[in-house]
Amino acid sequence: MTDKAALSLRNTPLLAAMSDANAARLLAATRHRAIAQGERLITAGDGADELFLVLRGRFSVLSGGRLIAAIGAGEPLGEMAFFSGGVRSADVVASRSGEVLVLRRADWDALARDLPEIAQSILAVLARRLEQASRHAIPLRPLAPTCIALTGDVPEALLQPLLGALGRIGRWSALRAGAGDARATLHNMEAAGRKIVLVDPPGDLLDDVDEVFHCDSLSAPPVAGPGNARHLVLWRDRAGDAITGTTEWLALRPGVRHHHVALDRSGDIDRLARFIDGSALGLVLSGGGAQGTAHLGALKALCEGGIAFDCIGGTSAGAAMGAALALERDPDAVMDLIEDVFLRARVMGRYTIPKYSVIDAGHFDAALQRHYGAHRIEDLPLSFFAVATSLTTNDMAVLERGPLWQAVRASTSIPAIFPAWIAEAGEVLVDGALIDNAPIQAMRSRKPGPAVLLNLLRSGDWRVTGAYGDFPGRGRLMWQTFTGPLRRRVPAHLPSAIAILTRTFNVNAQRRLRSVDAPGDVMIDIAPLRDMQFLDWTRAREQFESSYRAFSGALELVDRSPDAPRDPVKRLAAVRAALPWNMVDDVGGGETPWGDG
């Protein structure tokens, strides 16, 4: 055990509570082992006669091939089976080269007998992991990198501003691989707690980094890049240059995350820095029909308040609005788009023989193609995904490639109202709200760092005044429909088919949200207007303006405080608390009403 290795572990949660003498005793009982990238450290089903302490590197814990945890420096590995006396329950593979300390069972037994505090420290770490596991019933978000490599064509116009942005965010330092013993320098910098950008390293150093960001000009012929590059940075000289051809780049590297950067726009480079740092802010927009224009009012206020988002995802109406925002249209322009589609084009008033749907979707499809054009999702300046429900796979379909208008159309295919969307290979897709009306988990799985969910709030106790016997038969319903304007007596309130459908969406969404643990995320509920129906597009502008006023007022209240937070996530959390419907006990009056549609 070297002094450098001992120092790198000394301040970890595992050893911090120990005396220097006891920590030295524990470290002296271990043996050092170097691990290559991709090497299997633990195999499920094997015996557990060794406990590992991660000295350097990153390790993936896999169950059935699915990532369930990521373990970094200073953490124990394999402690579950080691202490229970059972067999290994998961595979552990090095996601980058690293080093571990190995503690054999006989040595552990001697230490635990002589130094009980060592056992207490390791069991405390184990207890913390169990607590976290009990809260996370969902796949964990990716771990933020601490060491990355930039490969490919990295012009100085990208490199220098990027290093400057990373330096402002945190303790990031550049290491150019051509000078001296780069590997030793890299390990020394990691031991000192630095985050490292390895610039244009040789191939043998790529095993020592958490992530590889391969850079190239969007106008260059597509190349695959290093085999372990999971990020593709496609730069162009000017923001006004069209983004095309991304599909060909991604065809060479399926599954890679891509980032579009204009070299003359500092905001693009700052956004890339946040993705590298693991602090990129994701925006998730729930479904909600016409009430979803509340999202646009909220985002107009947040944009005016200087809050920017780095990627966008949404369901149903949230997907439609998020797609337009990912095209870098401002909320006012998106609101105009909504009114053009649903009021001027009247796409919801084009009825047809109800064999496949109630609405003839031809006009809706034409309106979507007119407003979203020929843009493909992968060519958007901001990363975007839409969520649909796959009736083929009985699962969520996350749409992040292909024509933008088709993804919006699939995500908004309200069953029976619109015909289902038929995707490639005959996959049947309907409205994403059926499976996840607030897809914050889909955002988490795509990046480390915080996410903000704008979620339309609905009352938890929905009741109607009518009785089951009040439902009219066919003849009575036709009479009521044609003579309604002549009758003074209003029938007892009964839930419409649309109201039932939208509440069904809401039941699943709220149930999923209750099970979500969201450390670092901000989930903001928005109260729709009182008595506004789900598809009442005539009140969409009113909803937009009401939400804008509420969020503008909340921002002003937060920013007037002498201790107003500067961090965007803390600021958004403060805005949430200052919204009018969160500051009163009775949400049924004044500025904070909602309706159930």
How many Cβ atoms sit within 10 Å of the Cβ of residue 349? 10
Coil vs helix vs strand at 582: helix
Coil vs helix vs strand at 570: helix
Q: How many residues does the chain have?
A: 597
- Taking Cα atoms as reference points, which of 57, 62, 40, 60 lies closest to residue 97? 57
Please report the pLDDT score of residue 250 as a whole number: 95
Please report the pLDDT score of residue 518 as a whole number: 65
- Taking Cα atoms as reference points, which of 430, 431, 417 lies closest to residue 315? 431
Angle between helices 317-326 and 293-304 in degrees, nearest 10: 40
Asked whether 283 and 313 are in contact (CB, 8 A), the reply is yes
User: 59 φ, ψ to 5°?
Assistant: -125, 135
**Residue 532 DSSP class:** -
CATH of domain 3-135: 2.60.120.10
Coil vs helix vs strand at 119: helix
Q: Which residue has the tokens 């024509």?
A: 403
Q: Determine the longest span between alpha carbons in the chain, in angstroms.
A: 92
- If the chain, 597 residues long, is cut into consecutive pieces of 10 residues, what is the mean pLDDT of each piece? 57 67 82 93 92 90 86 85 85 93 89 76 66 54 88 96 93 79 85 89 88 95 87 96 96 92 97 96 94 96 96 96 96 95 86 86 93 96 97 95 97 92 94 91 91 83 78 73 48 69 70 66 91 88 96 96 92 95 52 40
Asked whether 539 and 158 are in contact (CB, 8 A), the reply is no
Question: What would the two tokens of residue 451 be?
Answer: 């996410």
- What's the topology of domain 147-277? Rossmann fold (3.40.50)
Coil vs helix vs strand at 572: helix
Q: Which residue has the tokens 């740092």?
A: 277
CA 336 to CA 264: how far, in whole Å? 29
**Residue 286 DSSP class:** -
- 588: Cβ contacts below 8 Å, ≥ 6 apart: 530
Asked whether 132 and 189 are in contact (CB, 8 A), the reply is no
- Taking Cα atoms as reference points, which of 443, 464, 469, 465 lies closest to residue 454? 443
CA 420 to CA 409: how far, in whole Å? 9
Question: What would the two tokens of residue 100 be?
Answer: 């571990």
CA 90 to CA 322: how far, in whole Å? 38
CA 130 to CA 336: how far, in whole Å? 50
Question: What would the two tokens of residue 231 be?
Answer: 């990020």
**Residue 383 pairs with which residues in a beta bridge?**
311
Asked whether 323 and 292 are in contact (CB, 8 A), the reply is no
Where do the CATH 3.40.50.300 domains begin and end in the chain?
147-277
If you compute the radius of gyration of the chain from its CA atoms, what whole number of angstroms results?
27
Asked whether 593 and 529 are in contact (CB, 8 A), the reply is yes
- Taking Cα atoms as reference points, which of 436, 454, 439, 443 lies closest to residue 141? 443
Please report the pLDDT score of residue 191 as a whole number: 83
- Taking Cα atoms as reference points, which of 252, 217, 259 lies closest to residue 238? 217
Q: Which residue has the tokens 């006990």?
A: 585
Where do the CATH 2.60.120.10 domains begin and end in the chain?
3-135
Please report the pLDDT score of residue 92 as a whole number: 95
Please report the pLDDT score of residue 138 as a whole number: 52
Question: What would the two tokens of residue 182 be?
Answer: 């780069």
CA 198 to CA 149: how far, in whole Å? 4
CA 404 to CA 409: how far, in whole Å? 9
Angle between helices 293-304 and 331-339 in degrees, nearest 10: 160
Asked whether 260 and 286 are in contact (CB, 8 A), the reply is no
CA 543 to CA 296: how far, in whole Å? 9
pTM: 0.80
